[in-house]
Amino acid sequence: MQQEIVSLRQQFQSDLKPVNTSADLESVKVKYLGKKGPVQNLMKLLKDVPAEQRPEAGKWINDLKEEISETLSAKLHQLINVEEKSQLSKEKIDISLPGRRHFSGRKHIVTQTMDEIIDIMIGLGFSVQYGPEIDSEYYNFEALNFAPDHPARDMQDTFYISPQTLLRTHTSNVQARVMETNPPPLRIISPGTAYRNEDITARSHVMFHQIEAFYVDENVSFADLFSTMQAFLDKFFEPGIPTRYRPSYFPFVEPGLEVDIRCISCNGQGCMLCKHTGWLEIAGAGMIHPEVLKNCNIDPEKFSGFAWGMGIERPAILKYGINDIRIFMENDVRFLSQFHKF
């Protein structure tokens, strides 16, 4: 037994010598101290040793086991030290290097403008409704009192997906749907994207954004339209901004109006922005046509309503002095990154 212990000790030392990684050391540990290893085998052989020699033989084996354990643990510390040092030397950081710039995303200027308008309108008691961008001819035109031969229904002006389905040309389709299924009083805004089959130029695009507002109740009058519009414009542009209303025609309102604000660039003196008129067109509006109310299951004898519609790009253009509508769709970071106020 003594002889076997001596040769096991020698064998262990020669196995340990070439070890230079903690992973290899673990293999040596398993080999010598594992359940099926030589130290455990010696323990099993103890029962064949004469009883009077057994305590001494047991002590030799325990001493060997302890010696192997301590040697392995000392070597492990040594290897970990070396490995950590080599890892740290690879991970050296040059603290004199300049910091990396952190680019954070922000909302698109159209979304920022839309959010600002939504916030103002919510403050005036309106709630927000969204609806489908692909809709039927009925909700986009027919329910809104567009005559069957109205030019907007033409394929030259509207993107049709099938004879009865199209990309909405305004967000009024949402109002028609809301009115059809909800009784007054209704104070709703519908923000979203709309599409028109137009040439893409500095002033027009096939895709643009809109917000429409409508209020239907008993005794809603022009006074409600004017005061709501003024309250909105005061907040969006500047308090007390002068406005003017010009008669206009839209199939879904009667009477219809166009809303101008005094030019925010020249204060009405006349400049390039307002084409020397002193005024900027900002929205269309009017009292909801009785036919539209009827189409949407609302009794025009009992209820009336006002509605207005406004493109989002246009006020953004006016507010931020942008001169080309196409730039909104180009996703040029040099343009987009200028708008980080909100």
CB of 289 to ligand 2U9, least distance (A): 7
**Residue among 64 and 171 whose Cβ is closer to ligand 2U9:** 171
Pick the piece of the chain touching ligand 2U9 (CB under 6 A) from 12-20, 84-92, 160-168, 280-288: 280-288
Pick the piece of the chain touching ligand 2U9 (CB under 6 A) from 56-64, 120-128, 148-156, 245-253: 245-253
Interacting positions 309-338 with ligand 2U9 (CB under 6 A): 309-311
158 near ligand 2U9 (CB under 6 A):
no
259 near ligand 2U9 (CB under 6 A):
no
The correct pick among 167, 292, 318, 325 for binding ligand 2U9 (CB under 6 A) is: 292
184 near ligand 2U9 (CB under 6 A):
no
170 near ligand 2U9 (CB under 6 A):
yes
**Residue among 72 and 229 whose Cβ is closer to ligand 2U9:** 229
Pick the piece of the chain touching ligand 2U9 (CB under 6 A) from 8-16, 41-49, 181-189, 307-315: 307-315
285 near ligand 2U9 (CB under 6 A):
yes
SS3 letters for the chain? CHHHHHHHHHHHHHHHCCCCCHHHHHHHHHHHHCCCCHHHHHHHHHHHCCCCCHHHHHHHHHHHHHHHHHHHHHHHHHHHHHHHHHHHHHCCCCCCCCCCCCCCCCCCHHHHHHHHHHHHHHHCCCEECCCCCEEEHHHHCHHHCCCCCCHHHCCCCCCEEECCEEECCCCHHHHHHHHHHCCCCEEEEEEEEEECCCCCCCCCCCEEEEEEEEEEECCCCHHHHHHHHHHHHHHHCCCCCCEEEEEEEECCEEEEEEEEEECCCCCCCCCCCCCCCCEEEEEEEEEECHHHHHHCCCCCCCCEEEEEEEECHHHHHHHHCCCCHHHHHCCCHHHHCCCCCC
**Residue among 40 and 248 whose Cβ is closer to ligand 2U9:** 248
**Contact residues for ligand 2U9, defined by CB under 6 A:** 144, 170, 172, 175-176, 210, 212, 214, 250, 252-253, 283-286, 288, 292, 307-311
